[in-house]
Structure 1
Amino acid sequence: MTAPATPLEQRLAAHLQQLYPERDAAGLARECLQRLGLAADTPSPAPHRNLWDQSDIMVITYGDSLRSDSEPPLRTLSGFLEARLQDCISSVHILPFFPYSSDDGFSVMDYTTVNPSLGDWDDITAISRQFKVMGDLVINHCSSRSLWFENYRAGLEPGAGYFVEVPSEADLGAVVRPRTSPLLREVKTPGGERHVWCTFSHDQVDLDFRNPRVLLEFLGIIRLYLDRGIRWFRLDAVAFLWKIPGTPCINLPETHEVIRLLRLLIEHHSPDAVIVTETNIPNRENLTYFGNANEAHLIYNFSLPPLLINALVSGSCKHLKSWLMTMPPAQYGTAYLNFIASHDGVGLRPAEGLLSDWELQTLISTMQRFGGRVSSRTTAGGESCPYEINISLWDALRGTNARGPDQWQFARFLCAAAIMAALEGVPAYYIHSLVATGNDQARVDNTGSFRSINRHIWRSEDLEAALDSDSHHHRVFEAMRRLLRLRRRQPAFHPNATQYTLHTGEALFSFWRQSIDRRQSIFAIHNVSDQPQSVSLSELNLILTDQWLDLTSGETFENHLAQITLMPYQFLWLTNQSP
């Protein structure tokens, strides 16, 4: 006699029934639990738990962003993080560290092995003992040189039914594409010629989650990552996961169902685990990946990079402020992941509807003037249009639209970092932003990929020398470390603390944060222009009985009616309580 299904089995079966209505959902639920090593009676974690606080700051890096001749890159990275950033960050996102065939790691050949050129699993586990580690679950596609795809071409398992096949004559006109390459690739199989789906490139073949065997494979991979100390999971390109010809094949209901299913299983296995969805799409669509606090714990704030950079090079925060006012506060148990720069470029789709075509073109032209490149995508109508700007953040903030490069690069750069640190959400800083790495044009010439411009590889000895010398790298890095240490001590900067946008004109980007216990308030005021700007403290409605302190300078303000002038790109964090 079959035992009654537990609450976990029932919930899991409900998700599976939506995805695979022709399958035995109860039996498949038991297989899922077995793959993840979960008991059917595992208790559910409490809902709406904040698994983060104001001390949580992430660094984004490749496993070999730093290289040394004397040790594997992951060990070099570990040493750098411990020696230089131990008191500044809590988490590290190590970009794909697996054997790969292209796209700097995002064309995975083997999900179960660390790339030997980087190190091994012991190196990953060692880093996880010091920091929270976020790993990439490259879930939409795998390498054409993977065992799965080789088996597919030979008609063998595992792999024979793992990839999306469509007839060459299928109606794919509505499919949303992030690239300009042909969507389908011809492949010879024992059953004849087939056309497989390739959203990103012909070396990155899309996996078919309509086959539950693919889901089970990834549950086994997730279990391995959990066993090795990874607790944060970045679901790469997950918006494209489910394909139905005749639809846009992005943000489909089945994709959200898969995320809910993964969330259910992962948080039952490890209640401290976190799911982050990487969905480089317009803002309104991006917000749907929170679900009802039952999908992603964190979503990337993809609109922030283009809007913040635009504000700082145009001298106007009009669009940045308008966007911030429309952003709903994240429910407890969810949060925004804020970033300005990453291994990819500055996405332009998240700015759609927020910046006009003229403003986008002005931004693009300015970034090209500062050495940037522009990658394109193909629209549903078959036209090519800008998709992302490829540039290092240090060079992106070299000057302004109107005047070009100027003397305010350092101040502008630090202002950008401060805005991100103060906003609602968890801030994530790219390692090349922390050390102010410039455009790597030589790497672009070598690889032929525009994204290589912001994927410089430092010899660790050279970086250490630069950070210990009188260089802009040293100046930026020390300023960033001070800023991050300061941010980590402020309860009002908890990722879920209250936030209100203030109206202080187009040149001053200002907002108010209040700690969850309501004891600390911070008025964050940032001059985003290259001209001095004044603000009256009376405009901020400071509580007259409190003494107010600028955390960034230590200056106190007893005259609550005082007029304050901020120099170009200067910022103030005014608080009534300094921990």
Structure 2
Amino acid sequence: MADVFVNLQEKVKHHLEVIYEGVLNSSDISAIVPELISKIGIQSAEDCHYPTPHKNRWDESDIIMITYGDSIVENMDTSEFGYQQKPLKTLLRFLEDYADLIISHVHILPFFPYSSDDGFSVIDYSTVNQSLGDWSDIEKIADKYGLMTDLVINHCSSRSQWFQNFIAKDGIGSDYFFTASPSDDLKAVVRPRTSDLLKEVETASGIEHVWCTFSHDQVDFDFRNPKVLLTFVDIIRLYLDKGTKIFRLDAIAFLWKVAGSPSINLHQTHEVVRLLRTLIEHAEPETVIITETNIPNRENLTYFGNANEAHAIYNFSLPPLLLNTLVTGDCSYLKSWMMSMPPAQNGTTYFNFIASHDGIGLRPAEGLLSDEELTSLANCMQNFGGRVSWRATENGEQKPYELNIALIDALKGTLEGADKYQLQRFICAHAIMLGLEGIPGIYIHSLLGTPNDEEKVLNTGQNRGINRHRWDYKSLVTHLDNNKSVHAKVLSSLSMLIRIRRSQAAFHPNATQFTLQLGRRIFGYWRQSADRQQSIFCISNISHKTKKVRLSDINLIENSLWFDLIGEKPIDPNTEDLVLKPYQTMWISNKSTG
């Protein structure tokens, strides 16, 4: 272990030299090395683990459910008394009663005290929002389900004590925040919002202009100050101790800022990810890092590094491309993108999702869909009750940045309008996603088939509120126990697909994947297990008309017995054609069980 410990020290020093080149001198960097290693929980060589390179820390059974801590609540009759049960306890109850056999991990969105952005403007990183519960509630969920936790590392709340100390120019945080001058060249800065980049703040030292990538309540940290880095390593250690198995690095692409540059994806940002990876994997080697980078596809892929940055990256191009496929009835763009995606090396994988607490980002579809096609998609979503969020480009133009709509309503029809295939189209979308290379993430409101929450948009004034409904537990149970309700049908159908997926070796996140060429109306791909013992052909009719697929086009091996895992029936080898109803998916396997 001594050699591993020495190697860790050398690696950490190298990371710091890259990050702080021109900022810190060699002696300052050397002094930080032991501090970082100690803060991550490695006090001696005996505490230091050797991280196995290119090890897959996941398998086909891994399914992550994304939820807020209070997506489901139990209200008392008199609301002034608050919730009958702390929401985190209610969440655990829901998981045990309705999701126990289908979920391996739970991503609880920021569960800390906050001032805005539904949790992503953190006031205090060290405590649980008391309206949700406490650390014991988090630990109980973590003990039974793998816990995925947000590390909101780019910014914090302007109401945090750190920022108040910045204003007072005294105490912890007084030098934590990034400032710039309005006279700086900031034209190239890439923004996901239309608000002013700089926030004028009167401090004890005079007027300063604080950098705010997202909103003026979300003030950006200055990682040029190593004390900020040390503080976040402390936070990481706390979350590990509370049961975190997966870290989601929120808005990580914006971490390092340089006036006169785009201030996104800078090499210092990548090096910070590598440093955090090095520290975490030597302390807790089974922990996984996922980077949240809602940016064009080519840039997103760079966060794999050389299998030394993120273990997994959000597959941000999937939601807009799959949505476009199902509302146009044409899978051409989805196929082209799939064929261009590099297979993830062992030790890395994709994090697949088609709905989340945020909207459906359109930047990851730039260069894949034309401006006209993106506009057409946005118009379609507005026809289905959705909203569009905008961003400012370098030349001051407004471009659609995000579609805000509940996924089940996004799929209520096609470009031609709403139709009778909403549920089938919604299940088809998940069947496609669940079979793909990578780990699936399913938003709780997709699992429950929750529609647009227009009232929340009106009450909050936030477009994203449309897909952040808060269920009353008793009301939800009434729906789920009624087999005729849409919510019960969605949960039942998705649970069935997930249970099948979790027992198929060919659905391992790193199993081989090839895209099939079956025309514009049939989307298909082939998965093969690492031992080559199982093949699954995933075939989906993405149109509103019944379609036929020739068995010869799929190229099934004739002397094997094939079985549709979803339909639970064998495939007749003498049949020339497979007949797929509108939005039907078949998972055709040479094994009837996993």
Normalised-by-shorter TM-score class: over 0.9
Any conservation in 2 of the 1:336–1:426 contact (CA below 8 Å)? yes
Q: Look up the match of 1:405.
A: 418
Shift of 1:564: 1.1
Shift of 1:221: 0.4
Do structure 1's residue 460 and structure 2's residue 473 form an aligned pair? yes
* Residues 383-462 of structure 1 mapped to structure 2, 5 A cutoff: 383-402=397-416, 404-462=417-475
Any conservation in 2 of the 1:6–1:40 contact (CA below 8 Å)? no
Matching residue within 162, 169, 172 for 1:148: 162
SS at match of 1:524: strand
Structure 2 distance, partners of 1:119, 1:214, is: 28
SS at match of 1:231: strand
Structure 2 distance, partners of 1:375, 1:146, is: 27
Any conservation in 2 of the 1:9–1:40 contact (CA below 8 Å)? no
Deviations 1:447-466, CA, capped at 9 Å, x for gaps: 00000000000001111111
Instruction: Say which is worse superposed, 538-547 or 241-250, in terms of deviation.
Output: 538-547
Structure 2 distance, partners of 1:288, 1:216, is: 25
Letter in 2 for 1:119: G
Any conservation in 1 of the 2:60–2:505 contact (CA below 8 Å)? yes
Shift of 1:150: 0.3
Letter in 1 for 2:139: T
Do structure 1's residue 343 and structure 2's residue 357 form an aligned pair? yes
Any conservation in 2 of the 1:237–1:279 contact (CA below 8 Å)? yes
Structure 1 distance, partners of 2:126, 2:369, is: 42
Deviations 1:431-451, CA, capped at 9 Å, x for gaps: 000010000000000000000
Letter in 2 for 1:7: N
Letter in 2 for 1:177: R
Structure 1 distance, partners of 2:247, 2:322, is: 26
Matching residue within 169, 177, 186 for 1:172: 186
Structure 2 distance, partners of 1:338, 1:564, is: 28
Letter in 2 for 1:10: E
Structure 1 distance, partners of 2:108, 2:363, is: 25
Deviations 1:500-533, CA, capped at 9 Å, x for gaps: 0000000100000000111000000001110111
Matching residue within 32, 35, 38 for 2:42: 38
Any conservation in 2 of the 1:444–1:450 contact (CA below 8 Å)? yes
State TM-score, norm by structure 2: 0.96
Shift of 1:379: 0.7
* Residues 285-324 of structure 1 mapped to structure 2, 5 A cutoff: 285-324=299-338
Any conservation in 1 of the 2:70–2:91 contact (CA below 8 Å)? yes
Q: Look up the match of 1:215.
A: 229
Structure 2 distance, partners of 1:261, 1:333, is: 17
Instruction: Say which is worse superposed, 533-542 or 23-32, in terms of deviation.
Output: 23-32
Any conservation in 2 of the 1:542–1:560 contact (CA below 8 Å)? no
Q: Look up the match of 1:484.
A: 498
State TM-score, norm by structure 1: 0.98
Shift of 1:245: 0.3
Any conservation in 2 of the 1:100–1:106 contact (CA below 8 Å)? yes
SS at match of 2:289: strand
Letter in 2 for 1:439: N
* Residues 530-545 of structure 1 mapped to structure 2, 5 A cutoff: 530-545=544-559
**Cα separation, partners in 2 of 1:560 and 1:52, compared to 1, 3 Å:** farther
Matching residue within 104, 109, 115 for 1:101: 115
Structure 2 distance, partners of 1:78, 1:522, is: 34
Shift of 1:43: 3.2
SS at match of 1:34: helix
Shift of 1:323: 0.3
Letter in 1 for 2:492: E
Q: Look up the match of 1:10.
A: 10
Q: Look up the match of 2:68.
A: 62
Instruction: Say which is worse superposed, 196-205 or 30-39, in terms of deviation.
Output: 30-39
Structure 2 distance, partners of 1:166, 1:433, is: 41
Structure 1 distance, partners of 2:44, 2:511, is: 36
Q: Look up the match of 2:201.
A: 187
Structure 2 distance, partners of 1:365, 1:197, is: 33
Any conservation in 2 of the 1:232–1:273 contact (CA below 8 Å)? yes
Any conservation in 1 of the 2:49–2:284 contact (CA below 8 Å)? no
Letter in 2 for 1:430: Y
Any conservation in 2 of the 1:33–1:40 contact (CA below 8 Å)? no
Structure 2 distance, partners of 1:316, 1:258, is: 40
Letter in 2 for 1:332: N
The unaligned stretches of length 5 or more in structure 1 are none
Any conservation in 1 of the 2:317–2:364 contact (CA below 8 Å)? yes
Letter in 2 for 1:476: V
Shift of 1:560: 5.2
Structure 2 distance, partners of 1:555, 1:417, is: 21
Shift of 1:540: 1.3
Structure 2 distance, partners of 1:124, 1:471, is: 31
Any conservation in 1 of the 2:317–2:365 contact (CA below 8 Å)? yes
Do structure 1's residue 554 and structure 2's residue 558 form an aligned pair? no
Instruction: Say which is worse superposed, 56-65 or 22-31, in terms of deviation.
Output: 22-31
Structure 1 distance, partners of 2:421, 2:322, is: 16
Instruction: Say which is worse superposed, 14-23 or 475-484, in terms of deviation.
Output: 14-23
Letter in 2 for 1:18: V
Any conservation in 1 of the 2:4–2:49 contact (CA below 8 Å)? no
**Cα separation, partners in 2 of 1:254 and 1:38, compared to 1, 3 Å:** same
Instruction: Say which is worse superposed, 22-31 or 404-413, in terms of deviation.
Output: 22-31
Q: Look up the match of 1:115.
A: 129
Any conservation in 1 of the 2:49–2:283 contact (CA below 8 Å)? no
Deviations 1:332-381, CA, capped at 9 Å, x for gaps: 00000000000000000000000111111111111000000000011111
Letter in 2 for 1:563: D
Structure 1 distance, partners of 2:195, 2:283, is: 39
Shift of 1:26: 2.1
Deviations 1:193-228, CA, capped at 9 Å, x for gaps: 000100000000000001000000000000000000
Any conservation in 2 of the 1:54–1:490 contact (CA below 8 Å)? yes
Structure 2 distance, partners of 1:559, 1:575, is: 13
**Corresponding residue pairs, total:** 576
Q: Look up the match of 1:82.
A: 96
SS at match of 1:506: coil
SS at match of 1:205: strand
* Residues 304-383 of structure 1 mapped to structure 2, 5 A cutoff: 304-383=318-397
Structure 2 distance, partners of 1:125, 1:485, is: 26
Q: Look up the match of 1:567.
A: 581
Letter in 2 for 1:136: D
Structure 1 distance, partners of 2:462, 2:114, is: 16
Do structure 1's residue 158 and structure 2's residue 158 form an aligned pair? no
Any conservation in 2 of the 1:48–1:333 contact (CA below 8 Å)? yes
Deviations 1:512-558, CA, capped at 9 Å, x for gaps: 00001110000000011101111011111111221000001122123
Structure 2 distance, partners of 1:4, 1:532, is: 60
Any conservation in 2 of the 1:544–1:560 contact (CA below 8 Å)? no
Do structure 1's residue 26 and structure 2's residue 30 form an aligned pair? yes
CA RMSD in angstroms comes to 1.2
Letter in 1 for 2:431: A
The unaligned stretches of length 5 or more in structure 2 are 76-83
Structure 1 distance, partners of 2:43, 2:288, is: 20
Q: Look up the match of 2:78.
A: none
Shift of 1:416: 0.3
Structure 1 distance, partners of 2:39, 2:133, is: 27
* Residues 216-231 of structure 1 mapped to structure 2, 5 A cutoff: 216-231=230-245
Structure 2 distance, partners of 1:506, 1:4, is: 53
Letter in 2 for 1:311: T
Matching residue within 56, 63, 74 for 1:50: 56
Letter in 1 for 2:10: Q
Instruction: Say which is worse superposed, 36-45 or 91-100, in terms of deviation.
Output: 36-45
Any conservation in 1 of the 2:558–2:573 contact (CA below 8 Å)? no
Instruction: Say which is worse superposed, 54-63 or 548-557, in terms of deviation.
Output: 548-557
